[in-house]
Structure 1
Amino acid sequence: MVIGAAIAAAFAVTGCAPAGVDTASDYGAQPAANAVDVAATPTPGAEPEGDAAAADDAAELSDDETTGELNATKVKRMGETVQNEDGFVLYRFDDDKVKPKVVSNCNDACAKVWPPAVVNKGEKPKLKGVDAASVGTVAREDGTLQLTIDKWPVYTYIGDKKPGQWKGQNVGAKWFVVTPDGKKNLTCLPAVSKAVAPPSDDAGDSSGDAGSDDSSGSDYSY
């Protein structure tokens, strides 16, 4: 009995998403309390960080390209998440910086796999369960304004095919589901996996199509 309990406990920590098992878009069971992120949490602010001049020159984005809502939503196994208006889970990236200033380090091919949650200058997303004081923006390399929660830039993941999925959890040991207060949600931590390949620039070449569910075959490090 003791050995069995120990094995079950070990599985709960390291095997919440068993290799090769996709339990209908989530990894099953009930959410536990969020793990605490021990990283420094700078004072949040709504003013844009980064290159403000670049943000001023950014082209106006369509409604389909921007994030209109940040909604605190609980999902199976993972517990607390933040989702956009379409129900897709948002993530934070350990390679981003919050000190001495906020910097998004996911650009180019990385941003094709992890699309940043962006807004037009002067726009604010509708919030549900997310404190407005913790929501801000950072100017990206291309001049667009990316939403931040507690100064951490947030992203979706093209490996998530349906609302509520969180297949980006622990990708590269750098990507994690973000909580409504900007922390990493470490409640369920699957084995480290690789990101899906970015979509092909050639419409006739499906070799890098984001429609593939194979997240283990790419050599991309982000």
Structure 2
Amino acid sequence: MGNHSVRRVSNPLSQLNLNEAMMYSDNIYFAKVATDLGIESFEEGLQQFAFNEKLPFSYPNFAESQIAQNQIDSDVLLADTAYGQGQLLVNPLHLALMYSTFVNNGSIPNPILLEEEQPTFWLEGVISEQNASIVLDAMIEVIQNHNGTASHVNLDQVKLAGKTGTAEHKASRDAESGGAETGWFIGMDVEDPELLILMMMENVEDKRSSYYVASKVKELFMEIY
């Protein structure tokens, strides 16, 4: 796009479907999907998942997830936002809730802090059950397929789905290296939707980034099972 380019981390394929894009965590695929959708449709989709809204959580002063500082105003920012860069800011609790959509038939549960609170849904029917199942199948490939970015998290005793993610913090858009990295991983038990683990770790640029974070989440699952 003009002088701007999107870099993929690792992908031996020239054409990908959704499962493969999730499995390889391919930036270019998601950038293309977003630019095909356009800014308005893309922002509407994020707003359906409650971006720019307060979380209904008992603990006060949780920051809102933000799409951009003001709004997405260019195809470059749209493309970068689609794979988690740009000006996108996501509250980790909110991110965990969003991923729980895919094991709750398209609905987002209400986050609970206190024992006396009853489980309810915060947002129902955010996406269809069919689309929730499609995304969940793609997340299963991330772990179950030997080419997946989190294949090392695979456990024999439980079927897990997950997604890796790395946020790069560089001095400038054009810098090739030298910035700090924040690693993310979210894993969930496909057959027990009550169990979902999200971990975020800062300054993992020298530790294989989200691969390292996923390994730590695997250790937690091993303790549980």
Relative to the length of structure 2, the TM-score reads: 0.28
Higher helix share: 2
Q: Which has the higher contact order (CA 8 A, sep 6+)?
A: 1
